[in-house]
Copies of this chain bind each other. A is one copy, B any other.
Amino acid sequence: MKAKVHVTLKQGVLDPQGKAVLHALEALGFGGVKSVRQGKFIELDLTETDPKKAAAAVEAMCKKLLANTVIEDYRVDISEG
């Protein structure tokens, strides 16, 4: 199975990286951008073939390593292949 994980900052948590991107876009002449939030996108290739077990395993990985659940949210999508 393949897993796609999105790790994003929780609402209300300051995002200096996103702010930097926003200012860089403005400096390059891209107006009309109200806000930028930057997160992580992690793709995992798993040997597990059962979608439920794969989802549970990736969920555990998120809690333990991939996301800092104090300040970050995560979303796991499991797909075939």
Interface extent on A, as a size class? 20 to 34
Q: How far is the CB of A7 from chain B (nearest CB, A)?
A: 8
Q: Are B36 and A39 in contact (CB under 8 A)?
A: no
Residues in B whose Cβ lies below 8 Å from that of A46: 32-34
Q: Once the chains are docked, how many angstroms separate the CA of A75 from the CA of B57?
A: 27
| A35-59 near B? 1/0 per residue, CB < 8 Å | 1111111111111100000000100
Starting from the known contacts A18-B42, A34-B46, A39-B40, 10 additional A-B residue pairs (CB-CB under 8 Å) come to A25-B65, A30-B61, A32-B48, A33-B45, A34-B45, A36-B42, A36-B45, A39-B41, A39-B43, A41-B41
Which residues of A are at the interface with B, using a C-beta cutoff of 8 A? 6-8, 18, 21, 24-25, 28, 30-48, 57, 60-61, 64-66
